[in-house]
Amino acid sequence: MSSVGPWDVVVIGGGNAGLVAAIAARHRVPRVLLLERAARVMRGGNTRHTRNARCASAEYPADELWEDLRGVGPPGPLARLTVERSAGVPPWMTSHGVRWQPALAGTLHLGRTNRFFLGGGKALVNTYHRTASAMGVEVRYEACVTDLRFDGERCTGVVLADGSRIGARAMVCASGGFEANLDWLRKYWGNAADNFLVRGCRENDGQVLAVLFAHGAASAGAERGFHSVAIDARAPRFDGGIATRLDSIPFSVVLNSAGQRFYDEGEDLWPKRYAIWGRNVAGQPGQIAYSLWDTKVSECFLPPMFRPAMAGDVRSLAGLLGLDPPAVSATVSAYNAAVRPGTFDPSRLDDCSTAGLDPPKSHWALPLDTPPYFGVAMRPGITFTYLGVRVDESARVLRAEGAFRNVFAAGEIMSGNILSSGYLAGFGVTIGHVWGRIAGEAAAACD
């Protein structure tokens, strides 16, 4: 393989991080190639499923975004830089063809903090492809990178699944996390991983990440770190997207397979708590849990994508869900007896709570007493993993000592430098843009 191919920069991965990196590089150098593993119709990785980005602005100062990020877990070493650069993301998006729409109403209330791009992630991906193509970026589909070749600290090129080799002066790795690789997840989660569903694309199996680790890349982020939410257990194994998320939780009681409650369903406002429920369900026997509600609250949240089980009494509902009717009935009776009167208000932390119940339900606690009753089984739905390569402020991939000279990373593959355990809705797209730009520009400047 020639040490320098025809390309100035090769970008691996065609989600928002890869596309932004390719465009940013093309502003500086003429020969940019983007390798997308998926077929053209399925291009765009997890970015296809996105709708909004969380960025600092006049209405949402960087310090407030920083505090919000700190509130969901200890931020990584590059988190502050990401927050500071985030204000530049929406103008960059606009200048590269993205159009905007009013914030979508729903259960996450993100109007002030998040910008919604018109048409969601698919439109975003299509827009960036149009922009990149007009600028002369070349794209190859069904181009799965299986290996990277090195000469000391310099990457001499990439190897594709068909055995072909491509050389370049610099590489940007933007191939996502490893959430679609159940064998890899099993290393940290054991057999529980068999019950995880992957909300995003099946292409993100961490192949490039594993190659970088094998060549001595340093890691960032926790092995078990990931973003996950509770989704309908009937969702497909891959690519179910946003529609399978269950937003009934704060207005329901959540039981495990033994028919017992295990966590405060009304702990906090849903935007601050929705992302812990994937992990909550992952911690239960069989990685399954059940959300049960009654008719009087069924208009309080986005309806589930699949029809819920429905019955005229709690015991019959338990039977339909495959749960033990006496156990569920006992749990619901104890819960109903513990509910204290209050003024129900789904829009704020209201005063409807339980007393003397363990675990408590701190808000929106109403008795389950109005038939018909509804229930849905839930599984952990993984959005993306955090364990990735460690990078410096120019997105250069670091080794235990030193760094690769011409390998950069952007997006989910390096999100562990920013996120540790928690997540803020909309920050994934921000990470992809901030670091896609940094990586693309740094790669273009590489000699």
Ligand X SMILES: Cc1cc2nc3c(=O)[nH]c(=O)nc-3n(C[C@H](O)[C@H](O)[C@H](O)COP(=O)(O)OP(=O)(O)OC[C@H]3O[C@@H](n4cnc5c(N)ncnc54)[C@H](O)[C@@H]3O)c2cc1C
Angle at 10 between CA 418 and CA 393, to 5 degrees: 30
Closer residue to ligand X, CB minimum distance, 176 or 259: 176
Q: For residues 151-182, b (16+ Cβ closer than 10 Å) or e, as one string?
A: eeeebbbbbbeeeeebbbbbbbbbbbbbbbbb
Query: Which chain residues interact with ligand X by CB under 6 A?
Result: 12-18, 35-38, 44-47, 49-53, 144-145, 174-176, 199-201, 203-204, 207-208, 241-242, 383-384, 411-412, 426-429, 432
Q: Rounded CA gap, 237 and 377, in Å?
A: 15
Instruction: Look at phi and psi of residue 397 and say left if phi exceeds 0, alpha if psi is from -120 to 50, else beta.
Output: beta
Least Å distance, CB 375 to ligand X, is: 23
In whole angstroms, how close is the CB of 426 to ligand X at the nearest point?
4
> Smallest distance from the beta carbon of 417 to ligand X, in angstroms?
13
168-173 and 403-409 beta bridge pairing: parallel
**Cβ closer to ligand X: 5 or 176?**
176
- Residue 422 CB, nearest approach to ligand X (Å): 14
**Which residues in 27-65 are b (16+ Cβ under 10 Å) and which e?**
eebebbbbbbbbeeebbbbbbbbbbbbbbbbeebebeeb
Name the residue nearer to ligand X (CB basis): 121 or 308. Answer: 121
Task: Give 406 or 430: the residue with its C-beta nearer to ligand X.
Answer: 430
Shortest Å, Cβ 126 to ligand X: 13
Smallest distance from the beta carbon of 19 to ligand X, in angstroms? 8
45 vs 259, which CB is nearer to ligand X?
45
| β-sheet bridge partners, residue 197 | 381
Residue with structure tokens 């997105």?
Answer: 395
- Measured from the CB of residue 67, what is the shortest distance to ligand X in angstroms? 18
The letter for the amino acid at 430 is: T
* In the complex, least distance from residue 199 CB atom to ligand X, rounded to whole angstroms: 4
Residue nearer to ligand X on the CB measure, 144 or 446: 144
**Residue 418 C-beta: closest distance to ligand X, Å:** 11
CB 385 within 8 A of CB 412: yes
Please, which residue, 375 or 411, has the CB nearer to ligand X?
411
C-alpha–C-alpha distance, residues 185 and 149, integer Å:
26
Based on CB atoms, which residue is closest to ligand X, 200 or 304?
Answer: 200
Question: How far apart are CB 261 and ligand X at their closest, in Å?
Answer: 27
Q: Which is nearer to ligand X, 35 or 72 (CB)?
A: 35
Alpha carbon distances (Å) from 160 to 16, 39, 56, 167, 300: 21, 15, 39, 11, 49
Check if the beta carbon of residue 21 is closer than 8 Å to that of residue 15: no
Minimum gap (Å) between residue 24 Cβ and ligand X? 13
**Please, are residues 342 and 229 in contact by the beta-carbon 8 Å criterion?**
no
Length of the chain: 447
9/174 with CB nearer ligand X: 174
Residue closer to ligand X by CB (options 29, 166) is 166
Beta bridge partners of 145: 160
